[in-house]
Amino acid sequence: MKVSVKKTIIVLLDILLAVYLGFAMTSFNNPDETMKACTNVSIQIDDETTNGFLSAKEIKRILEQKKLYPYKQPMADVNPRSIEDALKSSSFVNTSQCYKTKDGHVVISVTQRLPIVRIKNIKGEDYYVDDQGGIMPNSKYTSDLIICTGYVTKWFAKNYISHLTIALMESELWKNQIEQINVLPDLGIEIVPRVGDHVIYVGHLPQTKMLDERQKLVSDFINGKLARLEKFYRYGLSQAGWNKYAYINLEFDNQIICKKRKKNQI
Q: For the chain, first and last CA: distance in Å?
A: 114
Those residues whose C-beta lies under 8 Å from the C-beta of residue 164, and which sit 6 or more positions away, are 181, 189, 205, 218, 222
Measured CA angle at 150 (ends 145, 155), to 5 deg: 80
With a cut of 50, list the residues of the chain below it in pLDDT. 1-3, 21, 23-31, 266
Point out which residues pair with 43 in neighbouring strands.
Answer: 108
pLDDT given for residue 243 in this prediction: 73
Q: Which backbone phi and psi does 134 adopt, to 5 degrees? A: -90, 150
pLDDT digits (tens, 9 = 90+) for 177-192: 999 999 999 999 999 9
**What local confidence, expressed as pLDDT, does residue 26 receive?**
44
The structure's pTM equals 0.75
Q: Could you please report the per-residue DSSP string of 3-19?
A: HHHHHHHHHHHHHHHHH
